[in-house]
A and B are shown apart, each in its own frame.
Chain A
Amino acid sequence: MIRVELVKLVRRPRSWVSIVLLCGLPVVVAVFVAVTHIAPPPGQGPALLSEVLSSGTLYPAAALAIVLPIFLPVAVAVVAGDAIAGEASAGTLRYLLARPVGRSRLLVAKLVTLIVYTLSAVLLVAGTAYLTGIILFGSKPIAATPGGLTTSNIASAATSLSGTAMSPTDIALRTIGAISFIAVSMLGVGAIALFLSTISDSARGAALGALAALISREVLVTLNAASTVDPYLPTRYWLAWVDFFRDPIVWRNIERGFAVQAVYVVVFLGAAWAHFATKDVTS
């Protein structure tokens, strides 16, 4: 069943359009920055963008910072919201279940597909951004020869947010860390959308519901009265992946971010399963 779901994902034009759009936006941003050489001053604009001018190898991280707040969650919520509700409204859910596909099996297959989609989206964004970065901003620090780094390389090497130089392997490892953190954060959104998808017969409703849950934090965060619940909201630690690019890496918020997302994923997937396994399929 997982294979069937993956085939459906791959053969769906929407999957590709969304990924192309996600990859395209950072490319557009990079072109503007490269042409004008006007990067946002440090501390403003998307994280790390100001550091990109010194090395293209940092651009994958900057690209993720660009798509993370809105575009990536929207894409993930749309795919996850479509999982069950889309089949229900297309009328294909009843035929899948009568084939038979066990309800738990279907849900697991949808979840695996969602994970594959999220990871591919994040990796493709990072990949295209890496190429864009190298082409537009150069890859000086990576020009390490077997003889060792040249002095000019060290001088122009990428710097972490804390101001110390980072080697290419260091950047690669930190980027991998950031990618997994972002993927897990997106899985939290996906789990909420998947749960709503089992409740609603409208794929759009489920996706928008999940986004509403995320946006509501922006309202609550301005309220001092709501500060007690803030650490438990799904988007509270989303930006903590930037801490991978500090020296030394600040683990506190990263760990909390992973923990909060894990709780959301477990709770909402559990709820999705409990509801879907016992629900009357009348679509």
Chain B
Amino acid sequence: MIATNALTKRYGRLLVVDQIDLDVREGDRYGFLGPNGSGKTTVVRMLLGLVYATSGEIQVMGKPVPKQVADVLPSIGSLVEGPSAYGHLSGRANLALIDAAGTASRRTRQHRIADTLDRVGLGGIDNRPVKRYSLGMRQRLGLAAALLRTPKLLILDEPTNGLDPQGIREIRDLLIELNQAGTTVFLSSHQLTEVEQLCTRVGIVNQGRLVEQDELAALRALTGRAIVHTPDVDKAKELLDGRVELTEVDRLLVRDTDTALLNAQLVAGGVRVTEISAERRSLEDVVLAVTGSGSDRVDRPVSRGRPPAPAPGDDSDVLGQGKMAGEEQP
């Protein structure tokens, strides 16, 4: 669907995107992750022919971009850096205008607009001008504009910005539904939970370079440890002597590769187990391992010899139960 080869963008002397080889396959729900200012949006803009690459090649749906981008854009829905609309017009009028600007059929327009508004949860919207919409409503309207032509490829930049938890859930379900109906979804985000819950493949970009690109399941590999919750910590420690790496009040981290066997062993030894699971690397671990802090953080120059402090930026708080993410994700 999307393939780039050594894609590079410079603004003057500033290298924003550095030799990126994206590989998004048909049917993927691809999560494009990275700290703020890592070049995500510039890549998205290059995919859509808005920004021209300094060097490298882009192919979207088999066509070279930006040379033949006009051929593929009609089957791409996009949301780049937030929605935007003409504030003095209603949502419907906005959709009608943006649709008339493109190549879509005029005959089906009203029908498609009504349909799409239903899909994004704005079916009953009145004629108030968009400037009186809330942030979440604007976001839904932006999504509606992207979905207006039932695209084969959706390129979305932070699509759940400004939505409440219900809204986020709705949009996620909608994207999964569209994906199952054959739409490839390319989602650029710094929200780890969003990507972890939605995507099947992940690309991680840091300071303009693609530092990781793989199936989400492969990235979230087992760590070779199990997490055991038990009221009988001391007893368990005795039983598993030497294999326990970390002990907390009611929790143990055990070096282990077969959780079922470990469970049987504990129960046989008289240890009550409230919860047991194989530890997986969380997406947060993966991302923090390969990226630095975003460009929105500007530290003082650090004196030599001292390692830079781990700087989670604004991405780390989103993965509440990351360490314990043993359950399967949808």
Contacts and interface: CB of A to CB of B under 8 A. Distances in A.
B101 A1 contact: yes
Contacts of A11: 88-89, 93
B105 to A, nearest CB: 14
B81 A95 contact: no
B92 to A, nearest CB: 13
Nearest to B104: A99
B100 interface: yes
A92 B52 contact: no
B45 A282 contact: yes
B276 to A, nearest CB: 49
Interface stretch (B71-79, B246-254, B255-263, B285-293): B71-79
B88 A12 contact: yes
Interface stretch (A2-10, A111-119, A191-199, A244-252): A2-10
B87 interface: yes
A282 B46 CA distance: 10
Contacts, number: 74
Interface residues of A, number: 24
Interface residues of B, number: 30
A1 B102 CA distance: 8
Interface in A96-139: 96-102
B155 to A, nearest CB: 9
Contacts of B85: 92
Contacts of B227: none
A99 B101 contact: yes
Contacts of A99: 73, 98, 101-103
A41 interface: no
Interface in A1-43: 1, 3-4, 7-8, 11-13
A203 to B, nearest CB: 14
A91 B81 contact: yes
Interface in B16-34: none
Contacts of A281: 45, 50-51
B87 A90 contact: yes
B80 interface: yes
A46 B49 CA distance: 51
B137 interface: no
Interface string B40-61: 0000010011111000000000
A98 B84 contact: no
B101 A98 contact: no
B113 to A, nearest CB: 15
Contact of A90 (B49, B50, B52, B84): B84
A278 interface: yes
B82 interface: yes
Contacts of A13: 88
A148 to B, nearest CB: 54
A4 B88 contact: no
B145 interface: yes
A204 interface: no
A100 B69 contact: yes
Contact of B49 (A12, A97, A282): A97
Nearest to A92: B84
A280 B51 contact: yes
Contact of B76 (A3, A7, A97, A98): A98
B302 to A, nearest CB: 31
Contact of B86 (A8, A94, A98): A8
B11 to A, nearest CB: 8
Interface in A68-108: 90-92, 94-102
B70 interface: yes
B61 to A, nearest CB: 14
A275 to B, nearest CB: 13
Nearest to B85: A92
Interface of A: 1, 3-4, 7-8, 11-13, 90-92, 94-102, 278, 280-282
Given A98-B49, A102-B70, 17 more contacts: A11-B88, A13-B88, A91-B84, A92-B84, A92-B86, A94-B48, A94-B84, A95-B84, A96-B98, A99-B98, A99-B102, A99-B103, A100-B69, A100-B70, A100-B74, A101-B102, A282-B51
20 contacts: A1-B101, A4-B100, A8-B86, A8-B97, A91-B83, A92-B84, A94-B45, A94-B80, A95-B78, A97-B48, A97-B49, A98-B49, A98-B76, A98-B80, A99-B98, A99-B103, A100-B49, A278-B52, A281-B51, A282-B50
